């Protein structure tokens, strides 16, 4: 049997190693863990001492895994997954005093979905606390891949992979949002005379809208692009123009803003309908029944909001929330 080295192998050191490797530097790994750079460097050095081998080549010019580092990384990921799974299982049985569930959610859910959903989850898992980040889907997938979060709510914009479990939530239709300057129930010939406010191209929504416009051979001049729903809608009124957004983005951003609703008009698209699918994703077989229960509760919240007509907006497009037994 090989020499185990002169140090002790600790879970915290393994956690630091994975964070450093996935973030690509000690400083970014320390930021992810909420620890100091010196503490993470010490953990990494202690781990290498315990294993009696060099795992990472690091200098001012170079940061790379050694061959031993590549081998140990696969084992380390399994260790972290097993610990996460054990903690989650104890939590669901209410035998653990504390568990932090890290989530990243599309910003469309911030105002009208998140409060009721987290309240429901708190009742289901009273030993848990939640750390929630809002962001676009492509960023949410990235931090799930880096293990910086446990589950995400994002647009279905990636090919299936064997380490992720997916729980479909809803089909979110696109709709037209205009300023009062634009004629009522506008056709494409009307819209071309007014500025289009777009989602940023790095976002799935932006790419999906542009693809649909190209399909119907209607491509207005490119002027403004934004990644925030709030900014996009504000620019619609500021420019006297229009935008294509989704029902959930409109509802989540504007439904409780009575003071600004008179500045907008909402219509079905003057083109073939299209939509996006939103799902809950988690690392497969790690969080026990938590993702399934979280998805079930979230679907109920979505039905309450969209099917009972809460808020001040009558949506021109129907949001379809998937049935629990149909997914």
The CATH number of the domain covering residues in 11-88: 1.10.10.10
Model confidence, pTM: 0.74
Burial 120-148 (b: 16+ CB within 10 A, else e): bbeeebebbebebebbbbebbbebbbebb
pLDDT single digits (tens) 159-181: 667 788 999 999 999 999 999 99
Is residue 85 over pLDDT 80?
A: no
Quote the crossing angle between the two packed helices 114-124 and 290-306, to the nearest 10°.
140
Inter-CA distances, 216 with 74, 171, 183, 199, Å: 47, 22, 21, 18
Fold of the domain spanning 172-275: D-Maltodextrin-Binding Protein; domain 2 (3.40.190)
* Domain 11-88 identical in fold to domain 97-170+278-310: no
Distance (Å, whole) CA 9 – CA 202: 42
pLDDT single digits (tens) 270-302: 999 999 999 999 988 788 888 999 999 999 999
Inter-CA distances, 23 with 27, 55, 76, 138, 143, Å: 9, 15, 15, 17, 10
Which tokens sit at 326? 């149909």
Q: How confident is the model at residue 208 (pLDDT cuts 50, 70, 90)?
A: very high
Q: Where are the domains of the chain?
A: 11-88, 97-170+278-310, 172-275
The CATH number of the domain covering residues in 97-170+278-310: 3.40.190.10
Q: Tell me the helices (H) and strands (E) count for the chain, helix number first.
A: 11, 12
């Amino acid at each position: 049997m090989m020499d185990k080295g002169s140090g002790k192998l600790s879970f915290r050191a393994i956690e630091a190693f994975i964070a450093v490797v996935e973030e690509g530097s000690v400083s970014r790994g320390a930021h992810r863990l909420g620890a100091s750079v010196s503490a993470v460097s010490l953990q990494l050095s202690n781990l290498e001492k315990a294993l009696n081998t060099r795992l990472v080549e690091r200098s001012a010019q170079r940061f790379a895994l050694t061959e031993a580092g590549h081998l140990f990384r696969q084992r380390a990921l399994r260790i972290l997954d097993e610990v996460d799974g054990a903690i989650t299982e104890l939590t669901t049985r209410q035998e653990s005093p504390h568990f932090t569930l890290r989530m990243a959610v599309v910003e469309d859910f911030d105002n009208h979905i998140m409060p009721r959903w987290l309240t429901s989850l708190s009742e289901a898992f009273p030993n848990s606390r939640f750390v929630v980040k809002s962001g676009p889907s492509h960023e949410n997938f990235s931090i799930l891949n880096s293990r910086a979060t446990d589950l995400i709510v994002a647009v279905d914009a990636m090919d299936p992979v064997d380490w992720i479990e997916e729980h479909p939530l809803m089909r979110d239709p696109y709709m037209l949002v205009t300023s009062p300057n634009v004629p009522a129930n506008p056709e494409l010939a009307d819209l071309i005379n007014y500025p289009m406010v777009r989602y940023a191209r790095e976002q799935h929504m932006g790419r999906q809208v542009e693809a649909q416009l190209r399909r119907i051979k209607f491509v207005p001049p490119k002027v403004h692009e934004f990644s925030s729903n709030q900014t996009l809608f504000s620019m619609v009124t500021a420019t006297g123009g229009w935008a294509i957004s989704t029902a959930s983005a409109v509802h989540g951003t504007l439904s409780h803003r009575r003071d600004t609703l008179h500045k907008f008009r909402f219509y079905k698209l003057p083109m073939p309908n299209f939509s996006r699918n939103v799902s809950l994703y988690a690392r497969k077989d790690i969080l026990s029944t938590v993702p399934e229960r979280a998805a079930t509760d979230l679907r109920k919240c979505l039905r309450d909001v969209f099917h009972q007509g809460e808020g001040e907006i009558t949506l021109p497009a129907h949001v379809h929330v998937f049935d629990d037994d149909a997914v």
